[in-house]
Each structure stands twice: as structure tokens, then as C-alpha cells.
Amino acid sequence: MTEDEVYRTSTQYRLWSFTLETLASLRATTNTAAADGVRDAFRSLNLDTKEGDGNQVNGAAAEKEVDCLTIEEEQKIISYYCLYTLEFVDFCEYPTNVKATAVQYLKRFYLTNSPMTYHPKEIMPTAVYLAMKSEDNFHYVKSFAEKLPNITTEDILAPEFLLTQGLRFTFDVRHPFHGLEGGFMELLAFTNGKGQGGPWIKKSQKELRDEMMDIDLAPGSSAKTTTIKELVARIQGAHGRAKEILKTFALLTDAYFLYTPSQIWLSTLYLVDEPLARFYIDTKIPAMADMKPKLFTVLQSCAEVLRSSPAAQPDKEEKKELKRIDRKLAQCRNPQKMDLVSMNKAQKRDPDQNGGSSLDEKVAKKRKLEREKSIKESEDLFGPALADKKP
């Protein structure tokens, strides 16, 4: 199997890859469903208040039409908490793969769930904790909770099953980091005269190295590369800038939903040093291949997505807008879904409540029959229990 065929068998490709249109449609559906759920919950709260002697202020508020978040406002608040996740994981000094996976868990969860239903500040710690386990960087939940202010172990564990449901029980995230490292190792091999091109390339390794020396200037450079040392420095500089993009912009945009890991890392190389990217691709794909112009179109498209990333540090106006959205969110959260810890406890007490499900009747019946059969067989072997014997 080729690498492309292997990737197409992954859950990331089968369940979490979209076109721009399907991604927008999914988010619109999620927003509409959440808004309807919020309004229904407030109407229910209003009826309960009228029937009892509850807080009349809440009842009056419930009578008003709830001003729900728009799709754009939802995306802004989700992007902010993705950014906060990056900062928190860096603060904890967890590995890059934990950070990247946690952000993708958040983004995947909020494709089918809305901040109006589950606030990102309650899901974010759980996403990080689940990412730590998925990426084989496990820490005890108690020690993890101590890193977060005003957070208990229950706050982290309560939404865990909810999050796994939102992830459709798929925890594998294919990142572009390994591809980036492999690609730059190949580029460095060309500088040593050991690089290998495709079978159609008839040039020697030395000729390929000389051709690499002769490529166009790197962005921001004023002088052409003249020595092997300068060429190595150029490649290493491009590697550092590309890796930084993968650790920030690639995570904060929809790149993972729209492109494959190899397309993402090649797009970062294309962004930081286009001549170097073109040289690398020329050694992989024949000049006259039909797929070559298509590939560059995809890379340019992905590069535009990466450029559209939210700022790593919101400016004054963006912070003001985020505060406005957060205040609005406080007024349109689903009142039935606000206390995740209590919901989790209730679910454990009675699986039929809060949207839970009891054991399948067929399974329960089968277990009962097996238990009765076991009892009958034991009586046949040893006789009935003494208490069952008549005097």
C-alpha cells in the first residue's frame, strides 16, 4: 500500500476531512440545533417558574427571545480557547504533540457541539487531559488539576465521556510534524551530495546539489547562496519558520479538516521558502506530470488558509470583541447543560436520565437466561440447595 492509501484508511480522512462547503454546512446545522435547544430550555425553565414559587426574575428573562450566538461568534470564542490551550500546554511544558492533539480535539468536538451547550472553558481541560493519554504522556488527574486554578478532578473527569462521544470515539490525530522533519532531512541530504531524486532524474548527486545552490533567493534574502554552509543555514532557517507555523497557525485554522498532513507541511515550506519547496517537489514529481500543477494549486490554497489564522496574541479591538461575545454567551447558555459535574453524577445514578441509555433489553435478557441456566446446572450436579429441601 502507498502512503496515500494508508492515510485514506485512517479515521482522520474518513470522519474528519471536509470540503469548505460541507464544513460550513455542518457548523450552520450545529449552530441552529444549539440555538433551538437553548430557546426550548428557557421556555421549559419559564414554565417551571410559573408553576412554582421560584425566582420571578429568571421567569421574566426566560420569556424574552434569547439572543443566541451567530456562527461567526461561535468560531471566535472557540478560536480563543484553542489559543488558550496552546498557552496552557506550553506553560505545563507538555510535548508539542499533546498540544496539537488537544487543540484538534477541541475543534472536532465543536463541529457537532456548540459553546452555547457546553462552554469551552469546561471542555478545554478535559481535551488536554485526554490528549495526554492519547499521546502516551499520562499524568495523574490530581497532579494535572493542580496546574489549573479553581479546577477539581471532578471538573476534568465529568465531561470526558461527553468529549469522547463528540470525537466519535476516534482519538488518532495525524499531524504534519513527522513529514516536515523527513522532508528537511532529505533537503539536507542534497547538500551533502547524498540526496536521491526520482528515477526519471538522470543528474548525478553533485549536479543536484549544484542545482540546489542555484535556486532563486529565499524570501527576505539579498544575496545568493554561494557556499554549502550558507545553503545548510538557509534550509535550517526555513525548517525553524515552517515548524513554528505548524505549531501555531496550522492548529488554529481549519487546515486539518481541509488538507492532508503532507499537504500542510509542504504548504508551510511553500510559505517560508517557495524556491526551496519547488526544488523539493521537482525531485519528487516529473515536470510534465498532470498532478504537478494541481498540487501547487492545493499548496497555494492551504497557504492562504494558514495566512488567515487568528493572531497569536489578540489586539485591543479583538479582546474587546471577545469580551462582548463572552458576555453574550453568558446570557444564552443552555441552562440544562451548565453543571457538567452534576449531570455526570446523575447519569451514573440513573443511566435512563439526561439522555442516557439503559442496558439493551436483549443483552439483559440473555444474561438473565445464562444466569438461570448456570444455577440449574449447579443444582443438577450437586442437588438443590439445602434451604430448598423440604423436611
As to burial, measured by CB atoms within 10 angstroms (0-12 exposed, 13-18 middle, 19+ buried), residue 34 is buried
Grid cell locating 83: 489559543
Among 85-89, 138-142, 181-185, name the one with the lowest average pLDDT: 138-142
| Average of per-residue pLDDT across 96-111 | 97
Residue 69 has a CB neighbour count (10 Å cut-off) of 23
3-class SS of residue 42: helix
Q: Can you give the pLDDT at residue 156?
A: 95
| Average of per-residue pLDDT across 27-43 | 94
pTM for this structure?
0.84
| Average of per-residue pLDDT across 385-391 | 50
Q: Alpha carbon of 163 to those of 107, 257, 293: distances in Å? A: 11, 18, 40
Among 9-23, 283-297, 332-346, 351-365, name the one with the lowest average pLDDT: 351-365
Q: Is the pLDDT of residue 187 over 50?
A: yes
| Average of per-residue pLDDT across 237-242 | 96
- Residue at grid coordinates 531524486: 197
The b-or-e profile of 162-198 (16+ CB within 10 A means b, else e) is bbbebbeeeeebbbbbebbeebbebbbebbeeebebe
Could you report the per-residue pLDDT of 326-375, keeping only the tens digit for each? 999 999 999 989 888 888 877 776 655 544 444 455 555 666 676 666 65
Top pLDDT among 389 and 258 is at: 258
What is the band of 305 on the pLDDT scale with cuts at 50, 70, 90?
very high
- Residue at grid coordinates 492548529: 251
Residue 17 has a CB neighbour count (10 Å cut-off) of 18
| Average of per-residue pLDDT across 236-251 | 95
* Nearest alpha carbon to residue 257 among 2, 21, 74: 21
Sign of the torsion angle spanned by Cα atoms 104, 109, 114, 117: negative
Give the helix/strand (H/E) hosting 282.
Answer: helix 274-282
Could you report the per-residue pLDDT of 156-176, keeping only the tens digit for each? 999 999 999 999 999 999 999
| Mean model confidence pLDDT for the chain | 86
Sign of the torsion angle spanned by Cα atoms 96, 180, 4, 260: positive
Q: Please give the span between the terminal C-alpha atoms of the chain, in angstroms, as a whole number.
A: 75
Q: Can you give the pLDDT at residue 314?
A: 82
| Average of per-residue pLDDT across 79-89 | 95
Q: Can you give the pLDDT at residue 270?
A: 96
Could you report the per-residue pLDDT of 127-164, keeping only the tens digit for each? 999 999 999 998 899 999 999 888 999 999 999 999 99
